[in-house]
Amino acid sequence: FATTRPRGLAACRLLSRHPELNCSGDVYSPHSSSGATARQRAELTLEQQRAEPVRFLRSHYATCNRRVCGVLLLQDSLPLSSLHQLFPPHCSVTKLLLRHNATGGGKALPRRGAADSGDAAAANDARAAAWLNRASKSPPHHSKSVSIPPETPLSGKSTSAAESSLVEIFDALDVRKEDSVCLYEHCTAELAASRRWREALELTKGHVWAGER
C-alpha cells in the first residue's frame, strides 16, 4: 500500500529482486502497461477488475511463479469499501505499508496564495495517513502488517536502518534466501560481507540466532 506512485513502484522493484518475491506493480491503474497486461491475461475489463477483486487476483496470482506474490495498491486505486475484497480466501496475507512522507503542509510561507497551498498539502497528508490507517485495519484481521518508514531509501546506496527494515520485511514474508539479504545496488560493508541469514539478523537487528528454522 503506497500513497505515491514513484515510491510505490520503487518499493516493488526492490522487493522483486529477491528470487522468492514478486511485486507486479500498479496493476489497477487504467493507464499503466502492467495493468493492461494483467487485465488482458485475466480476460477482464477495467470495470470487471475493480468490481471483482478476488476473481482478478486469483487469475493474476495463478501466473506468478515465485513463492510470495503481491501487487502495488495506490491510494485511489480502489474505493475504501473494496479493500476487504483484496484478500482471496485461504491465502496467507502480509500487508506492506509504505509510510507517507509528510510534505510539511500548513507551514506559513511568504508567497501570495501559499496559505491555500499549505492547507491543500496538509489535507493531502491527512488523507494519505487516513488511507494507510484504513488499509492496515482492513480484513483479514489476522494478517500481518509491516510499515516501511518514509525515510527508507528504495534505490541506490542503502543504510543500516534501511537494511534493518528490509530484513523485517523478509522476516514477515518468511523468505530467507541467504545470498539475497541485500537488494540494494550498494549495501553497507557489514551486510555486504554477510552471506548468511543468521549474520544478517545479528548485524541489522541485534538478534542472536537461536537455532535453525
Supply the pLDDT for residue 40.
92
What is the percent of the chain where pLDDT is above 90? 6
Supply the pLDDT for residue 45.
93
Supply the pLDDT for residue 78.
79
Decide if pLDDT at 175 tops 60.
yes
CA distances for 162 relative to 27, 58, 84, 179, 181, angstroms: 26, 32, 30, 18, 12
What is the percent of the chain where pLDDT is above 70? 71
The pTM assigned to this predicted structure is: 0.74
How far apart (Å, rounded) are the C-alpha atoms in residues 17 and 175? 12
Cell numbers found for residue 66: 515465485
How far apart (Å, rounded) are the C-alpha atoms in residues 208 and 196? 13
Q: Are 200 and 168 in contact (CB under 8 A)?
A: no
Radius of gyration of the chain measured on its C-alpha atoms: 19
Supply the pLDDT for residue 107.
35
Decide if pLDDT at 158 tops 80.
no
Supply the pLDDT for residue 30.
86
Supply the pLDDT for residue 106.
34
Confidence class for position 213, pLDDT limits 50, 70, 90: very low
Per-residue pLDDT reduced to its tens digit, 116-125: 566 888 888 8
Per-residue pLDDT reduced to its tens digit, 71-115: 998 887 877 777 777 776 777 788 888 886 654 433 333 444 545
In sequence order, the 6+-apart residues with CB closer than 8 A to the CB of 118 are 105, 106, 107, 108, 109
